[in-house]
Amino acid sequence: MVDVGLKEDELQKLYSWVDQVPLSRKKKSITRDFSDGILVAEIVKHFVPRLVELHNYASANSTNQKLNNWQTLNRKVLGKLNFPITASIMQDIAECKPGVIESFLFQLWRKIEEYLVKKKLVGYPERPYYNVRSDGSEFESRTGESADSRAMRTGIPEYTVRNPVPLSQLNLDALDTETRLILEEKEQALLASMESVQIQQVKIQRLEHLLHLKDLRIQDLQHRQSRYDPAT
């Protein structure tokens, strides 16, 4: 739900936030410039690149064309930010109703920050013992233990996750629009699943490391006990 009406200091903070994003066209009237959804897509793309495919959005003048962009943005992007908006809000923005886009952008700002914080926490950025390759192909500890050797030691198979070729790098001109949209949705679902697998693998390795530290601690205590136990 988008609440209309912001305080002056909130508006200034919002404008400063928007100004840090390199947009494809100059801002003259925020109500009109953002009405077709393209600049909103560019803002999200700037902060969360993997959520947005800019070729899905076309510059529009008519309300119906603008609404097509907003419906795509709502379905493909805003929902993943936990910020879906109603048809009436999309209509108000497309028709340049004063104050609506500012309130929308202000809440979008908050949702993007929440999304980034959540991803940072879930991804365990503070983990000191494990690294993840950028292509997600294998996790490897600083001790040099490979995924294969760890699987042999623990009995837990290590699944390799590799990035597919992005649709943007493929020639899809022969496909109709509906088929391309279905493929794009499948690609987003696949990327989300790959990310989930990566997160679970990192969690497993983090637990393995904690278990290893506990084993070392037990061995150390047993060694100390054997040194001071008269019976040994």
Q: Domain-by-domain residue ranges, the chain?
A: 8-122, 130-228
**Segments of the chain scoring below 70 in pLDDT:** 1-5, 120-171, 228-232
The whole-number pLDDT of residue 167 equals 65
3-state secondary structure of 36: coil
What is the 8-class DSSP label of residue 55? G
Provide the residue type at 183 as one letter: L
Which of 40-50 are b and which e, b meaning 16 or more Cβ less than 10 Å from the residue's Cβ? bbbbbbebbee
The whole-number pLDDT of residue 207 equals 83
Q: Is residue 51 within 8 Å of residue 81, measured between CB atoms?
A: yes
Both tokens assigned to 48: 């969360």
The whole-number pLDDT of residue 160 equals 46
The whole-number pLDDT of residue 146 equals 47
| Fold designation for 8-122 | Actin-binding Protein, T-fimbrin; domain 1 (1.10.418)
User: In angstroms, rounded to a whole number, what is the distance separating the alpha carbons of residues 136 and 128?
Assistant: 18
What is the 8-class DSSP label of residue 21? S
pLDDT digit string, tens, across residues 133-168: 334 333 333 344 444 455 544 454 444 445 556 666
The whole-number pLDDT of residue 137 equals 38
Q: What is the CA radius of gyration of the chain?
A: 25
Question: Considering the entire predicted model, what is its pTM?
Answer: 0.52
Contacts of 152 (CB under 8 A, 6+ apart): none
| Alpha helices for 56-176 (secondary structure H) | 63-76, 87-94, 100-122, 147-154
Give backbone dihedrals phi and psi of 141, rounded to 5 degrees, phi first.
Answer: -80, 165
